[in-house]
Amino acid sequence: MKYYSTNGKAPIADLSKAVVKGLAEDRGLYMPERIKKLPKEFFDTIETKSFQEIAYTVADAFFGEDVEAEALRKIVYDTLSFDCPVVKVKDNIYTLELFHGPTLAFKDVGARFMARLLQYFTSNTMDTSKPSINVLVATSGDTGSAVANGFLGVEGIHVYVLYPKGKVSKIQESQFTTLGKNITAIEVDGVFDDCQALVKSAFMDEELNT
């Protein structure tokens, strides 16, 4: 499957480039060119499937052309090692609770999936003589915790979390400053927008990317 930038000025990318680059050359976000329609049978039998089975079927519709079936299944099942219960709000209205992961943030789901997908695309091409791949993330709390935990211990990848000094809750700050290993937290004397600007500038820096 191919991916386009939401700003419409960057070249079309494959999944590997979209995952590794993270941000398109024109600072847009990558989106799939098409979304596959799931078969009627999937919806007719959905009540008989586990949460992980449902997630794998959906993931396969998006990524099955680019990721081997067993590898994708492992990525999905590792990502969703915790339950995301559907809770009734009132008649005919239900909510999917995504905050039961390791950092209690809904972003655990996306961050853990991203970490494993990035590892899949880089593990086969990684040159062990070169430094590890560096992941930069700006956060005001949830994102840093989820990304740091999702990438914790992932071989060949080092995460740098930029966060605004004195503007993150103590619990969330502890979640990404005490992990060690391949996680480095950097306190920035500014606000979240300053952290985000530093990360985006780094993404666009040709020498740094090389």
Among the listed residues 174, 133, 127, the one whose alpha carbon sits nearest the alpha carbon of residue 154: 133
Distance in angstroms between the alpha carbons of the first and the last residue of the chain: 26
Q: Is 107 a catalytic residue?
A: yes
Asked if 143 and 167 count as a contact pair (C-beta separation under 8 A), the reply is no
- Taking the C-alpha atoms of residue 124 and residue 145, their distance in angstroms, rounded to an integer, is 27
Strands 93-96 and 86-90: antiparallel
Q: How far apart are CA 56 and CA 72, in angstroms?
A: 8
Which residue of the set 107, 165, 170, 200 is catalytic? Answer: 107
∠ CA 35-24-134, rounded to 5°:
110
CB atoms under 10 Å from CB of 144, counted, come to 29
**Residue 178 and residue 153: Cα distance in Å, rounded?**
13
Q: Hey, which residues are catalytic here? A: 107
